[in-house]
């Protein structure tokens, strides 16, 4: 059975979708005359936030900054999601491991130059809808990275690409023989992605 926040989230989501469809004149009804250009989108976002907030114990709003002082917080995170807010991580001596970071409205910046990796495959999934992604990687870890953007520029381990619906896959020279590797998937819809070794 739906909880109260899930029910109202679903109601707002449906109303927002119907109003956007009406705005696009796919469906003709009288309410579309006083609908603002994008305010139904905010109903959708609020609906998604209400549904998601019931599913997750952590807050979905606000910036997140993790550095050496909050290393214990980073060590406990396997998945971190935000609706509104930037995610900034400076991983001095932190283990990369297998983690996922996402935001809808915000940038993601990760400085992992001084981070460590466990033996085997480490994986990092990073996504934003409206925002840029920047990943600074250590020189001593071999990397396979895939990045894609619907509307934005890509820079991935020395290669660049731009245009609509671009994607770019790169791997470092010693990747095939390495005992310790890092797999990266980075996606954004409206934003740029920069992945580089520092």
Instruction: List the domain boundaries for the chain.
Output: 4-55, 64-197
Element (H or E) spanning 197, and its range?
strand 193-197
- pLDDT value for 57: 40
List the 87-90 sheet strands across, edge first.
64-66, 87-90, 108-111, 133-137, 193-197, 154-156, 159-161
pLDDT digits (tens, 9 = 90+) for 27-86: 555 555 545 555 666 667 666 666 665 554 445 667 888 876 666 667 778 888 888 889
- pLDDT value for 184: 97
Residue 107 has pLDDT above 90, yes or no: yes
154-156 and 159-161: which strand pairing? Answer: antiparallel
* CA-derived radius of gyration, the chain: 20
DSSP code at position 43:
H
Q: List the beta strands (DSSP E) in 46-192.
A: 64-66, 79-84, 87-90, 98-105, 108-111, 120-130, 133-137, 142-151, 154-156, 159-161, 164-171, 180-190
Residue 7 has pLDDT above 90, yes or no: no
Lowest mean per-residue pLDDT among 3-17, 68-82, 118-132, 156-170 = 3-17
* Mean pLDDT for all residues in the chain: 80
pTM of the predicted protein model: 0.70
Distance from C-alpha of 124 to C-alpha of 39, rounded to nearest angstrom: 34
Contact 56, 6 (CB under 8 A): no
- pLDDT value for 5: 54
Q: What is the mean pLDDT of residues 129-155?
A: 94
């Amino acid at each position: 059975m739906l909880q109260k926040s899930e029910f109202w989230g679903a109601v707002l989501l449906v109303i927002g979708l119907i109003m956007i469809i009406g705005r696009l004149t796919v469906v003709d009804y009288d309410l579309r005359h006083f609908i603002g250009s994008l305010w139904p989108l905010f109903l959708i976002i609020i609906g998604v936030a209400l549904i998601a907030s019931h599913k997750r114990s952590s807050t979905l709003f606000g910036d997140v900054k993790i550095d050496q002082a909050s290393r214990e917080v980073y060590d406990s995170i396997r998945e971190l999601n935000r609706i509104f807010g930037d995610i900034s991580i400076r991983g001095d001596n932190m283990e990369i491991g297998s983690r996922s970071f996402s935001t809808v409205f915000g940038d993601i910046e990760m400085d992992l130059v001084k981070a460590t990796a466990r033996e085997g495959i480490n994986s990092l999934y990073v996504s934003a809808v409206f925002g840029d992604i920047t990943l600074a990687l250590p020189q001593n870890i071999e990397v396979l990275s895939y990045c894609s953007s619907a509307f934005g520029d890509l820079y991935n381990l020395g290669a660049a690409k731009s245009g609509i619906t671009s994607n770019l896959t790169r791997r470092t020279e010693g990747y095939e023989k390495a005992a310790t590797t890092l797999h990266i998937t980075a996606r954004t819809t409206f934003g740029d992605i920069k992945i580089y070794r520092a």
